[in-house]
Structure 1
Amino acid sequence: MIQSITLISPVVIANFSATWCGPCKIVAPFYVELSEKHPSLMFLLVDVDELSDFSSTWDIKATPTFFFLKNGEQIGKLVGANKPELQKKVTSILDSVPESPQRP
């Protein structure tokens, strides 16, 4: 699944969360804001309850858990609703990825 996603964007940030998760609800607007600010990155939202089999293959122990992927390879992981750390990781990824044209 990730292989086909990387054809669209070389960098994917996957947010594994749940509708009942308080910290997930708190960080959700910030995650949306990041996705709007950085259209060259692909931001995914994975509901661990709706996609439980898929989530278990990623060994999710807590929500939210963010995975950072570049060209299909995991380059980072963040567990918890830590907005400053999430921003820091996104900035770090942007600094390491060459500038590419924005999607329409």
Structure 2
Amino acid sequence: MGQCWTRVECSIARTFKWIKPYSGFCKRPYKRRHVIGGKVCHINKLESWEEKLTEAKQDGKIAVVKFSASWCKPCKEIATPYRELADKYSSLVFLAVDVDEMAELSSSWEIKATPTFYFIRSGQPMDKLVGANKSELQKKIATIVDLASKM
């Protein structure tokens, strides 16, 4: 019997490393979690979702929510620009929801494609963006920040 080796990208150093997830036959695929960093809060429980939206509402902030999947290549490509935007705009709350982990929440927000970005104020959606278009995401966030500063 051989051993399974998986090539995994290390998101910190942007290098590839070979790891041995387990020995023997691969009876299940190796699942690598996408690391969320910076000021992006990963939501994996309904209580966390409600808590973060309540905090944003109390602070008068707009929440930017990225609904994505760990297997989705466009989601992985937009992850770094999303983290950079979170670091740049501290006046917003940035959240990330994995549609597979939070299937019930995702279906209640009618997520049909990944990534999908929602802009939420006071618990209500203001705007929505579907797809991993970096420039469009930057424009929408800049517009929302400008709109929020005028209110």
With normalisation by structure 1, the TM-score equals 0.88
Q: Which runs of 5+ in 1 are unaligned?
A: 100-104
Q: Which has the higher contact order (CA 8 A, sep 6+)?
A: 1
Count of residues in correspondence between the two structures? 99
Of 87-96 and 8-17, the range deviating more from structure 2: 8-17
Q: Aligned partners of 1:11 and 1:38: how far apart in 2? A: 11
Shift of 1:71: 2.1
Q: Aligned partners of 1:41 and 1:3: how far apart in 2? A: 11
2:95 aligned residue: 44
Shift of 1:95: 0.6
Q: Aligned partners of 2:93 and 2:53: how far apart in 1? A: 13
Q: Aligned partners of 2:59 and 2:104: how far apart in 1? A: 24
Identity of aligned residues (%): 48
Query: Runs of at least 4 residues of structure 1 off by over 6 A?
Result: none
- CA-based RMSD of the aligned residues comes to 1.5
1:16 aligned residue: 67
CA spacing shift, 1:25–1:94, aligned 2, 3 Å: same
Q: Secondary structure at the match of 1:91?
A: helix
Q: Which runs of 5+ in 2 are unaligned?
A: 1-49
CA spacing shift, 1:16–1:9, aligned 2, 3 Å: farther
Is 1:4 the counterpart of 2:57? The answer is no
Superposed, 1:1-104 pairs within 5 Å as 1=50, 3-5=53-55, 6-98=57-149
With normalisation by structure 2, the TM-score equals 0.62
1:102 aligned residue: none
